Chain A
Amino acid sequence: DAGVIQSPRHEVTEMGQEVTLRCKPISGHDYLFWYRQTMMRGLELLIYFNNNVPIDDSGMPEDRFSAKMPNASFSTLKIQPSEPRDSAVYFCASRPGQGIAYNEQFFGPGTRLTVL
């Protein structure tokens, strides 16, 4: 398995533009998580899905952020409009719903977002 896949790896955009980050979880994993990492705030959970359904989006900073999971193999995190303070590394992670690795979350390589 290729692990969690994220695209793009790097994104540079201008303030006000729409940004879409993409994630492909590990096949068979029932849970998908979106995190944001900054020096100031560390790793923050933004939202997570179970079987494609959003369960907890209380970490989403504001209405400019939205996330979808149209099927078990794809999720997007959209920022519209983007602002310089959104600059961060965004990680997607997934975990199985059962089994030995029940609790372990597997992280993708991250998308480094820079908003100018």
Chain B
Amino acid sequence: GENVEQHPSTLSVQEGDSAVIKCTYSDSASNYFPWYKQELGKRPQLIIDIRSNVGEKKDQRIAVTLNKTAKHFSLHITETQPEDSAVYFCAAIEYTGNQFYFGTGTSLTVIP
């Protein structure tokens, strides 16, 4: 099965700085890579995703990059704000779209 590793487990940045979270996956058949944000006590919510036929995707301050050859993908948050503080999960999904393999999460703290 798929194995997703996520780093770092915790990340603190000053407000306005950038944050980068990295994930690696093992199964080359995986073709969909979402990122979920989970605020304290809330449900995980999709913030951005990328498919294997795309190398980069951007949505305002959030971007995701994918390197299929190296089997890694990253989440980039620019101009961080205190409301970006949350736990972020990456996931890799194989072609059926059913088995979500989640990373272990990154707790991001943005210091005002």
Contact = CB atoms under 8 A, between A and B. Distances in A.
A106 B49 CA distance: 13
Contacts of B25: none
Contacts of B44: 43, 91, 107
Classify chain B's interface size. Answer: 10 to 19
Most buried by B among A33, A42, A56, A102: A42
A48 B98 CA distance: 8
B43 A45 contact: no
Given A103-B97, A104-B49, A109 B104 contact: no
Q: How large is the interface on A (under 10, 10 to 19, 20 to 34, 35 or more residues)?
A: 20 to 34
B42 A109 contact: yes
Nearest to B33: A103
Contact of B43 (A33, A42, A109): A109
B57 to A, nearest CB: 14
Nearest to B36: A107
B98 A43 contact: no
A110 interface: yes
B32 A103 contact: yes
A48 B32 CA distance: 18
A45 to B, nearest CB: 6
A103 B104 contact: no
Given A103-B34, A103-B93, A104-B49, A91 B98 contact: no
A95 B49 CA distance: 15
A55 interface: yes
B49 A45 contact: no
Contacts of A105: 46, 100
A42 B105 contact: yes
Nearest 4 interchain pairs by C-beta: A107-B43, A43-B102, A103-B32, A103-B97
Interface of B: 32, 34, 36, 42-46, 49, 89, 93, 97-100, 102-105
21 contacts: A31-B98, A42-B89, A42-B102, A42-B103, A45-B100, A48-B98, A55-B98, A56-B99, A91-B43, A91-B44, A95-B97, A103-B34, A104-B34, A104-B46, A104-B49, A106-B46, A107-B43, A107-B44, A107-B45, A109-B43, A110-B43
